[in-house]
Amino acid sequence: MCGIAGTLTAGAAAGDDVHRGMAEVLAHRGPDATRIHPLPGGALVSTRLAIIDPAGSDQPLTGCTPDVCAVYNGEIYNYRHLRELLRRQGHHLHGQGDGEVITHLYEQYGRQFVEHLRGAFAIALFDARTDELILARDRMGEKPLVYAVQNTTVSFASEIRALQPAVGAGAVRPESLPAYLLYGFAPEPATLLEGVSKLPAGHFAVVRRDAGVQLTLHRYWTAPVGPPANGGEDAPDRRGDLITVASAALAEAVEQQTYADVPVAMALSGGVDSTLLARIAARTLTDLRTYTVGFDWTPTDELDAAAATAQALHSKHTEIRLSVDDYLHLLRRGSRSASEPIADWTLPAYLALTTHCHDDGVRVLLTGHGPDELFLAYRWVRQAIAYIRQPGSPPETIDAYTFNPEYAEAMDLIDSVLTGTARAIPATTSATLPDEAFRQHLRSALLRGYLVSNGLMQLDTLGLMNAVEVRVPYVDHKFVEAVSVLETPGSDREAMPKAKLYAIAETLDLPIHYVAKRPFFPTLAAVTPSILSMAQDHLLSGELAAAGLIRPNAVRQLLLSTPTIGNGLNVLFRLLMLEMWLTHLRKPAL
């Protein structure tokens, strides 16, 4: 795990101070080593968190010749297999780390090198022979990579803040604000700043210096969202075989992701997602550590269920309880330091989790994110599916997200809160599709939208704030491909949306009793007064108001209306998190 950055220009090269500034911003992502590697007309920047082969494997990485060099963030989980493959093909690898395979694969396969990688990664590779810079991102978008094209220069980085030494602090992009209020994030490839884009998941970009600089995007993988339309070899009578394939893919993903040369732990809740991962991990980790987070003022958290699971696993278990003061302190800290605004009420819990891991010497944390999106387990998603199944349901296009109360709240308030220049409503998840096609449509939207731009972004950001690498086995692309061709029997869909996970657990001889889904979410009444006070302090005269993007009078009226969830509180919270992020972006010393 690392932070990466750099520039490539067809004009005057950026000064050393620019690349040093980028490295300084990324220091928290890689406290173990910092390297700036000059290129003709640019540089590659790396800050390293040493997880595999700590004593070696410093970046930049080179291939058989120094003409090919690379920096990367993340882990290549199948690197041991790839090292053996490359040796058989005549390559000489000198270190013991995972990253060395990147440059050698590129020398062997060219731009298709990325298709051989199984892992979570963001890569910047320069080929002096072709004078090309290649930027690549993993299939599911676990590791971030943003870029800006400005005049004759391309700049890139793991975090938006690290672009500032090269491109300055850009203005807020008005077109991104409606989507941000509706979803809580700016869907990729957009960001909330003008001129800055995210490299989409499953893509690589080629940068060439032809008449300036040209950046061309290439998609190399698309997340599958459902079984083949014609059944074919994936017909229902092969369901048992397909469950076996999915089970093997998950077991292999967990085995690969529990490997590290530093201490590894599991985030544990009382649900099936993390319980199954922990039980698989316990097969290979004899000294398994587990962590769970709860809220002092919330009676519906999962501390007791997690403790029972930990006891059954004989893990070394840490229970973290947050007070209201803890919650608010962590919220402020997270809003200031995040690579993007995190408009999620669970931010303090995940930040507390990685803080405790860091303090205990843990450098790798596995989490159970992913099944809610893969198996359509959110309540509002099931409500949308049930709606279109009703006899006589309207044939016109419906917006599935209107079943999400946070989205519906924002839709009601966008016109009053945002000014005219920022009010265009983005396209949403809607369809006039048959039942299964509609399910696939929703799964695609959740995987490519909410999971990537909120869930995985949040885990990466909050982990690296504390120099902890967060790994997510359920979004291993082999597992995603395997479960996508499974069809849950209709009777299981709403009553037990994660029926596939229970079937996988049975196949792995790790049966799990059914557990009803409970949201990992604090009761907000105790923190609402403080949130409203913070919103008043920041929003009425902050950057969004000064730039004419929000209407202060409308915000003031909303603050006076005693807002609650579903009635304005989420909108105020999202604006607040954006405003506080912008304040730190402009004045990082605050």
Q: What confidence tens digit (pLDDT) does each residue in 251-260 have?
A: 999 999 999 9
In this structure, the answer to whether residues 209 and 269 fall within a common structural domain is no
In this prediction, residue 117 has a pLDDT band, given cuts at 50, 70 and 90, of: very high
Q: CB under 8 Å to 118, separation ≥6 — which residues? A: 76, 77, 78, 256, 476, 477, 478
**Residue 71 is assigned to a structural domain of this protein:** yes
**Residue 147 is assigned to a structural domain of this protein:** yes
Going from the C-alpha of 226 to that of each of 11, 234, 356, 386, 434, the distances in angstroms are: 47, 11, 38, 18, 13
Q: What strands lie across the sheet with 203-208, from one edge to the other?
A: 61-62, 68-76, 119-127, 132-137, 203-208, 214-219
Tally of CB atoms within 10 A around 283: 14
Report the share of the chain in percent with pLDDT over 70.
Answer: 89
415-419, 429-433, 531-535: which has the minimum mean pLDDT?
429-433
In this structure, the answer to whether residues 96 and 245 fall within a common structural domain is no
In this structure, the answer to whether residues 469 and 447 fall within a common structural domain is yes
Q: Is the pLDDT of residue 26 over 90?
A: yes
Catalytic site includes residue 2: yes
Going from the C-alpha of 244 to that of each of 281, 477, 479, 505, 511, the distances in angstroms are: 18, 16, 11, 10, 14
Q: Is the pLDDT of residue 101 over 70?
A: yes
Domain stops at, among 481, 507, 533: 507
Q: Supply the pLDDT for residue 385.
A: 80
In this prediction, residue 425 has a pLDDT band, given cuts at 50, 70 and 90, of: low
Say which residue, 438 or 569, is predicted with more confidence.
Answer: 569
Domain stops at, among 162, 196, 219: 219
In this structure, the answer to whether residues 109 and 186 fall within a common structural domain is yes
Q: Supply the pLDDT for residue 408.
A: 86
35-49, 388-402, 500-514: which has the minimum mean pLDDT?
388-402
In this structure, the answer to whether residues 157 and 260 fall within a common structural domain is no
Q: Supply the pLDDT for residue 289.
A: 96
In this prediction, residue 126 has a pLDDT band, given cuts at 50, 70 and 90, of: very high
**Residue 582 is assigned to a structural domain of this protein:** no
**Residue 198 is assigned to a structural domain of this protein:** yes
**Residue 122 is assigned to a structural domain of this protein:** yes
User: Mean pLDDT across the chain, nearest whole number?
Assistant: 89
In this prediction, residue 97 has a pLDDT band, given cuts at 50, 70 and 90, of: confident
Say which residue, 306 or 211, is predicted with more confidence.
Answer: 306
In this prediction, residue 423 has a pLDDT band, given cuts at 50, 70 and 90, of: low
Q: Supply the pLDDT for residue 305.
A: 87
Say which residue, 173 or 240, is predicted with more confidence.
Answer: 173
369-373, 476-480, 488-492, 541-545: which has the minimum mean pLDDT?
488-492
Q: What confidence tens digit (pLDDT) does each residue in 137-154 have?
A: 999 999 999 999 998 999
368-372, 407-411, 492-496, 577-581: which has the minimum mean pLDDT?
492-496
Q: Supply the pLDDT for residue 286.
A: 85
Say which of 2, 64, 69, 357 is annotated catalytic. 2
In this structure, the answer to whether residues 214 and 244 fall within a common structural domain is no
Number of domains in the chain: 2
**Cα–Cα–Cα angle for 102, 39, 214, nearest 5°?**
80
| CATH number for position 150 | 3.60.20.10
In this prediction, residue 73 has a pLDDT band, given cuts at 50, 70 and 90, of: very high
In this structure, the answer to whether residues 255 and 181 fall within a common structural domain is no
Report the share of the chain in percent with pLDDT over 90.
Answer: 65
Q: Supply the pLDDT for residue 65.
A: 84
Q: Is 118 helix (H, G, I), strand (E, B) or coil?
A: coil
Provide the b/e sequence for 71-93 (b: ≥16 CB within 10 Å).
bbbbbbbbbeebbebbeeeebeb
Q: Is 98 annotated as a binding residue?
A: yes
46-50, 275-279, 376-380: which has the minimum mean pLDDT?
376-380
Q: Are the beta carbons of 274 and 505 closer than 8 angstroms?
A: no
Tally of CB atoms within 10 A around 361: 10
**Residue 270 is assigned to a structural domain of this protein:** yes
In this structure, the answer to whether residues 111 and 249 fall within a common structural domain is no
492 φ, ψ (degrees, to nearest 5): -90, -15
Q: Is the pLDDT of residue 482 over 60?
A: yes
Domain stops at, among 189, 219, 249: 219
Q: Supply the pLDDT for residue 587.
A: 76
Q: CA–CA separation, 355 vs 463, rounded Å?
A: 8
Q: Supply the pLDDT for residue 403.
A: 83
Q: CA–CA separation, 576 vs 534, rounded Å?
A: 7
152 is in which domain, residue-wise? 2-219
In this structure, the answer to whether residues 124 and 268 fall within a common structural domain is no
Q: Supply the pLDDT for residue 154.
A: 97
In this structure, the answer to whether residues 244 and 128 fall within a common structural domain is no
Query: The whole model's pTM is what?
Result: 0.93
**Residue 391 is assigned to a structural domain of this protein:** no
Mean pLDDT of the region 308-317: 93
Mean pLDDT of the region 37-54: 91
**Residue 565 is assigned to a structural domain of this protein:** no
Q: Supply the pLDDT for residue 234.
A: 46
Q: Supply the pLDDT for residue 236.
A: 47
Q: Is the pLDDT of residue 53 over 70?
A: yes
Q: What confidence tens digit (pLDDT) does each residue in 199-247 have?
A: 999 999 999 998 789 999 999 999 887 665 555 444 445 667 889 999 9
Q: What confidence tens digit (pLDDT) does each residue in 435-474 have?
A: 667 777 788 888 989 999 999 999 999 999 999 999 999 9
49-58, 255-264, 501-510, 523-532: which has the minimum mean pLDDT?
49-58
In this prediction, residue 541 has a pLDDT band, given cuts at 50, 70 and 90, of: very high
In this structure, the answer to whether residues 184 and 36 fall within a common structural domain is yes
| CATH number for position 468 | 3.40.50.620
Say which residue, 171 or 491, is predicted with more confidence.
Answer: 171
In this structure, the answer to whether residues 98 and 241 fall within a common structural domain is no
Q: Are the beta carbons of 265 and 291 closer than 8 angstroms?
A: yes
